[in-house]
């Protein structure tokens, strides 16, 4: 049986994101960067709650959201596992979220006054840095 994968994550109180959202974001990022792979088992609700000193219901809420979005799957009586990737959102929704993220990004960087070419080149390099780990 697969052993529980350690979940190396930090949460911060006093953040504008609620703790459950911070957990969701961190787990998604770890799956996207292949730090967590399909089939890895996640810590139990109680285990992660104790690791982070937060209310178990907060972890349960984060896990439920990740499961509903298809990042995690539960195996009856065994726990939660990283799901095999599949397209989790409709094309329209993906496109909408991408537009939103781009708008946020633009708001942040526009004031920094870099030439668009340089911003694009740097973004491209960041993507390349992610890619090899993902295909590994």
Partner 1 sequence: MTHEYVVETDALTKRYGRKLALDHLDLRIPRGRIHAIVGANGAGKSTLFRILLGFLPPTAGSARILGRDSQRLTPEDRGRIGFVNEEHTLPGWMRVNAVADMHRRQYPRWNEDAFRDVLGHYHVLPEQKIGQLSRGERAGFNLALALAQGPELLVLDEPTLGLDVVAKRAFLESLMYSNATDDCTVIYCSHQMEEIERVADNLVILERGRLMHMSAPDEFCARVTHWVADIPFKGPDPRSVPGLLQLQRLDGLHHYLVLDQDEDFAEFLRASGARSVQSMPVSLDRAVNGFLAKNHASPDAQRAHA
Binding of residue 75 to partner 1 (CB under 8 A):
no
**1, 14, 86, 108: residue in contact with partner 1 (rule CB under 8 A):** 14
90 touches partner 1 by CB under 8 A? no
33 binds partner 1 (CB under 8 A): no
- The piece of 1-9, 27-35, 43-51, 122-130 that touches partner 1 (CB under 8 A) is 43-51
37 or 105: CB nearest partner 1: 105
Does residue 57 interact with partner 1 by CB under 8 A?
yes
- Partner residues linked to 80 by β-bridges: 74
Question: Considering the rule CB under 8 A, would residue 10 count as an interface residue with partner 1?
Answer: no
CA-to-CA separations, 56 to 99, 121, 125, 132, in angstroms, rounded: 34, 43, 39, 35
| Residue 20 contacts partner 1 per CB under 8 A | yes
- Overall residue count recorded for the chain in this entry: 136
CB of 118 to partner 1, least distance (A): 25
- The yes or no reply on residue 49 touching partner 1 (CB under 8 A) is yes
Q: Which residues bind partner 1 (CB under 8 A)?
A: 13-21, 46, 49-50, 53-58
């Amino acid at each position: 049986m697969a052993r529980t994968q350690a979940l190396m994550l930090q949460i911060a109180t006093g953040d504008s994101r609620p703790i459950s959202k911070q957990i969701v974001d961190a787990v998604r990022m770890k799956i996207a960067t292949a730090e967590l792979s399909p089939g890895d088992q996640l810590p139990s609700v109680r285990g992660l709650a104790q690791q982070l000193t937060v209310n178990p219901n907060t972890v349960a809420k984060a896990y439920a959201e990740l499961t509903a979005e298809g990042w995690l799957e539960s195996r009856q009586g065994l726990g939660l596992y990283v799901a095999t990737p599949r397209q989790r959102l409709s094309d329209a929704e993906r496109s909408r979220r991408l537009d939103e993220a781009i708008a946020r990004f633009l708001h942040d960087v526009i004031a920094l006054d870099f030439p668009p070419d340089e911003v694009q080149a740097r973004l491209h390099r960041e993507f390349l840095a992610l890619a090899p780990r993902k295909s590994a």
